[in-house]
Amino acid sequence: MSQPEKKVDRRVIRSKEALKQALLKLMADKDFDAITITEIVELSNYNRGTFYTHYVNKEALLDDIIDELIRELLKSYRSPTRTRIFSELMS
């Protein structure tokens, strides 16, 4: 029996997305090591408390971005395969 999916608050989704986008924008202009938490929260228009509610450090934020990209890549990679296999089974 699978566990019920935990519903995520939209505010959490919005704040995490804003923090991710801020980090990505900063990384376009400077090295990751040179980016500070202060810069991330100022650009995202959130505060340090919000940042630390979701992430231990900027590396954890980057890990979250990378994990999301990998999930999307896998989903996109597997999608045509599943459709083709399903079509073949239905034929």
pLDDT attached to residue 30: 97
DSSP 76: H
Give a yes or no: residue 77 inside a domain.
Answer: yes
- Count of domains observed in the chain: 1
SS (H, E, C) 28-53: HHCCHHHCCHHHHHHHHCCCHHHHHH
**pLDDT surpassing 90 at residue 3:** no
Give a yes or no: residue 3 inside a domain.
Answer: no
- pLDDT tens profile 24-56: 999 999 999 999 999 999 999 999 999 999 999
Give a yes or no: residue 2 inside a domain.
Answer: no
Give a yes or no: residue 5 inside a domain.
Answer: no
Which among 45, 26, 49 has a CA at the least distance from the CA of 36? Answer: 26
CATH number at residue 84: 1.10.357.10
**The pTM is what?**
0.77
DSSP 8: P
In which domain, by residue range, is 58 found? 10-90
Residues 6+ apart with CB under 8 A from 40: 19, 22, 23, 26, 51, 58, 61
pLDDT attached to residue 12: 94
**pLDDT surpassing 80 at residue 86:** no
- N-to-C CA span, the chain: 31
